[in-house]
Amino acid sequence: MKRLRDARILMGSGLVLVFAFALALPAIAPDSATTNMAVFTLMYVGLATAWNIMGGYTGYISLGHAGFFGFGSYTLGLLLAKLGIAGGYTPFLFVPVAGILTALLAAVVGWFALRTRAATFVIVTIAFMFMLQLLAGNLVGLTGGGAGLGFPVPPWRGAFYNIPFYYAMLVLAVVGLATSWWIRRSKFGLGLLAIRDDEDKALSVGVPAGAFKLTAFVVSASLVGMIGGVYGYYVTYIYPQFVVDPLIGISMVLMVFLGGLGTIGGPVLGAVILEPAQLWLAYHYGASRLYLVFYAAVFLAVILLMPRGIIPSARDLITRRRARAGGSTGAPGAKSEPPAPAAQEAIAQ
Amino acid sequence: MTLVLEAAVLGILTGGVYALMASGLTLIFGVMRIINVGHGALVVLGAYLSFVLWHSWNVDPFLSLVVTMPVMFVLGVILQIVFIRPLKTDREALSVLVTYALALGIEGLLGYFFTSNYVQISVWYDTASFPIGSFRITYVYVYGFLLCLAILGAIFLMLYRTTFGGAIRATMLNRTAAQLVGIDVDRVSAFTFGIGMASAAAGGVVFGITNTFNPGSHYDLISRLLTIIVLGGLGSLRGAIIAALVMLVSEDITSVVISPVWANFAFFVILIAVLLVRPQGLFGVRVREGL
């Protein structure tokens, strides 16, 4: 028991440290190159965390979350344009509105897409994404089509420009993490995990699988939509192919897989490792498109060598060490999370 | 009316090409239970291979298939052994990501060698046409349709008239049972992936003559191909062929009746409509039992 409490305290203080660091980062490294990278990293922390709520907890792989990202972006842009809001801090207040509208869309899409399972669900989400991209490009009167949609220009200049966006992304990432943590600890979260492990059995013991899946989908999508909104305001001009970008959709998935599917810290870890690497690659090799090859290589390496991600693999390693050292009283890691289904299947084989 | 009729004929002809590409995809799903998101990239790769042969040595694109199809077959077997076979747990989800990564890798490599400029294979029969009634049809569509028909016929013959085809069908029906009766499921899987890629190469040639393409073209292709196989019912060959024809005909008709920019949209509308009624697709369950 004592060891468990120690671990909790250690983890708590670690979290406080990380959070304090995140709060103070713009003061530590105020140059715009660093804060720009930080904005994008936090964006992906939020996106991966949000994706994990659906993909990690329920096991339903959505490759269409870039659609919600783009929808949130366009929604915020259109709201600001129609209401005639000028650049400044006010546009951030409309981000939750974009979130609510994205949630509505997700409810409709989810109701439809979740009629299908596994492979078909994946394909339906991909189709949904391309459908939205097409709509964004074709509804010229509303979205401006291929010419793009402009946001109000933020009034900030120089190195300060990135700072408000940094904190906006930080807020959304923290909201996402808190939601993810709360879900993971709740009965709702347990229901989601049960669906991931065996949906039919979950149904038979009374988990309202349909409602649970849809709720997770909507929560996940609305977070992604809000992040898309802030992104749109940050880059000030959006085009259908750049916000409804399949690469954004797949990036968040890869980050979750790298860090650890279904864990709370995994998506954060995945995003913090991959996004700076991706930015660096795109910066140095973007013109030759070789960065896509590097990206694919990382992707393949992660999935073939470590399909369960860093955190579950590391946890296994620690548990095994402890067991070998004779600590048979149960390691704290093993207590806080049930073993991933991949492990159970591995045992079964 | 003539326009609609013309669109319908063109839809059937291009539908044949999509039927070939989609049948490779659905075969791969049926045998391995994986969704090959990289299939569009493989079609584009096939198109580029023929493009190189045509561009450098002036080889007729249809003739180049004699080289590119075996090359793509071998490549497919290798890809399957290296990237798909190691997936033991959670195949369906992980395979989506692996094949997505393969698509990105192929896109990146093609972009490195060929830049992202659009190219097209041009031959005399991509502009020459012959009259049918009140409208004219370009030769390439007919040639492409006949080629795909021939390859599809060969695939069907192989599936239903050879022992190896029997092994493929058995694996599609029940992987474990197939293993129990002594079928080398791993070998069947690798060869099926190879067959899928070879047919992608054939589809790629026709695609490359009738469209301008660049390394990023695979997104558009894969969204169509996936929609087709879901509509037909995952793993159903007949479903894929019928769905491809239905989709392409409605797309071409939408294009002339409403507007070309909405043509793609017909795909998604039909998909939604069908899935609302039959979440398993047109031939989802029935054909699985029939096979």
Best of A125, A131, A198 to disrupt the B interface (most B CBs within 10 Å) is A131
Show which of residues 199-218 on chain B sit within 8 Å of chain A, judged by CB atoms: 215
Task: Among A61, A120, A296, select the one facing B230 at the smallest CB separation.
Answer: A120
pLDDT-based confidence at residue B289 (cuts at 50, 70, 90) = very low
Average pLDDT, stretch A88-94? 90
pLDDT at B196 (0 to 100): 93
In tens, the pLDDT along A145-193 reads 878 898 998 888 888 888 999 999 999 999 999 999 999 999 999 999 9
Question: In chain A, what residues touch B48 (CB-CB under 8 Å)?
Answer: none
Per-residue pLDDT tens for B228-245? 988 888 888 888 999 999
Dihedral angle over CA of B160, B163, B166, B171, nearest 10: -150
Q: Closest residue of A to B264, CA-based?
A: A134
> Most B CBs within 10 Å: which of A116, A120, A133, as the mutation test of the B interface?
A120
List of chain A residues whose C-beta atoms are within 8 Å of the C-beta of residue B83? 300, 304
Query: What pLDDT score does B290 carry?
Result: 31
What CATH number should be reported for the domain holding residue B164? 1.10.3470
CB spacing of B108 vs A307 below 8 angstroms: no
A8 CA: distance to closest CA in chain B (Å): 32
Among A65, A116, A126, the residue to mutate for chain B (most B Cβ within 10 A): A126
User: Hey, is the C-beta of B108 within 8 angstroms of any chain A C-beta?
Assistant: yes
DSSP B211: S
Tens-place pLDDT, residues A219-264: 999 999 999 999 999 999 999 888 888 889 988 998 998 898 888 9
Query: Would the pLDDT of A335 be above 50?
Result: no
Handedness of CA A181, A186, A191, A193 (dihedral sign): positive
Which residue in this structure is represented by tokens 């909405």?
Answer: B262
CA A60-A63-A66 angle, to 5 degrees, is: 130
Pick from A134, A139, A247 the residue to mutate for testing the B interface (most B CBs within 10 Å): A134
Q: Could you give the residue ranges of the DSSP H alpha helices within B33-121?
A: 39-57, 61-79, 91-114
Q: Which 8-state DSSP code applies to residue B47?
A: H
Q: Which of residues 129-188 of B touch A (CB under 8 A)?
A: none
Asked if B124 and B61 count as a contact pair (C-beta separation under 8 A), the reply is: no
Tell me the two tokens of residue B82. Answer: 């290296």
**Average confidence score pLDDT of chain B:** 87
CB within 8 Å: A296 and B108: yes
Per-residue model confidence (pLDDT) at position A347: 36
d(C-alpha A130, C-alpha A116), whole Å: 18
If one counts the domains in chain B, the total is: 1
Chain B CB contacts of A349 below 8 Å: 88-89
> Distance, in angstroms, between A328 CA and closest chain B CA?
29
DSSP string, A104-116: HHHHHHHHHHTTS
Query: Cα separation of A336 and A94, whole Å?
Result: 37
| Nearest residue of B to residue A256, measured between CA atoms | B97
**Residues in A 308-347 with any Cβ partner in B closer than 8 A:** 341-342, 345-346
Q: Do A300 and B93 touch (CB under 8 A)?
A: no
Domain of residue B155: give its range: 2-290
State the nearest Cα–Cα gap between A112 and chain B, in angstroms.
7
Specify the 3-state DSSP secondary structure of B246: helix
Q: Could B89 and A119 be called an inter-chain contact, meaning their C-beta atoms sit closer than 8 Å?
A: no
**Mean pLDDT, all residues of chain A:** 85
- Which residues in chain A have Cβ-Cβ distances shorter than 8 Å to B278? none
Residues of chain A neighbouring B105 (CB-CB closer than 8 A): 292-293, 296-297, 300
- Judging contacts by C-beta atoms under 8 Å, the chain A residues touching residue B109 are 293
Q: Could you tell me what percent of chain A has a pLDDT over 70?
A: 91
- Taking contacts as CB-CB distances below 8 angstroms, the residues of chain A near B227 are 123, 127
User: Is A57 in the B-facing interface, judged by CB distances under 8 Å?
Assistant: no
Give the DSSP H/E element, type plus range, for residue B222.
helix B218-232
Task: With cut-offs at 50, 70 and 90, classify the pLDDT of residue A339.
Answer: very low
Residue-wise pLDDT for B163-211, tens only, equals 999 999 988 888 888 888 888 889 999 999 999 999 999 999 999 998 8
Q: Residue A242 has what pLDDT?
A: 86
CB pairs under 8 A between A and B: 140
Q: What is the pLDDT of residue B103?
A: 93
Q: B87-126: per-residue pLDDT in tens?
A: 877 777 788 888 999 999 999 999 889 888 898 888 888 7
B279 close to A (CB below 8 A): yes
Task: Give the residue on A whose Cα is nearest the Cα of B99.
Answer: A300
Cβ distance B101 to A115 less than 8 Å, yes or no, reads no
- Given a cut of 80, whether residue A5 has pLDDT beyond it is no
Distance between CA atoms of A174 and A189, rounded to whole angstroms?
A: 18
**CA–CA distance from B214 to each of A213, A290, B46, B50, B207 (Å)?**
38, 15, 12, 14, 12
Question: Beta-carbon neighbour count of residue A320 at 10 Å?
Answer: 11
CB contact under 8 A, B35 and A295: no
pTM of the full structure: 0.86
Chain B closest-CA separation from residue A116 CA (Å): 6
CATH no. of A33-275: 1.10.3470
Q: What share of chain A is helix, strand, coil (3-state, %, to 5)?
A: 80, 0, 20
Q: What ipTM goes with this model?
A: 0.84
Strands A149-150 and B129-132: unpaired
Q: Is the pLDDT confidence value at A105 over 50?
A: yes
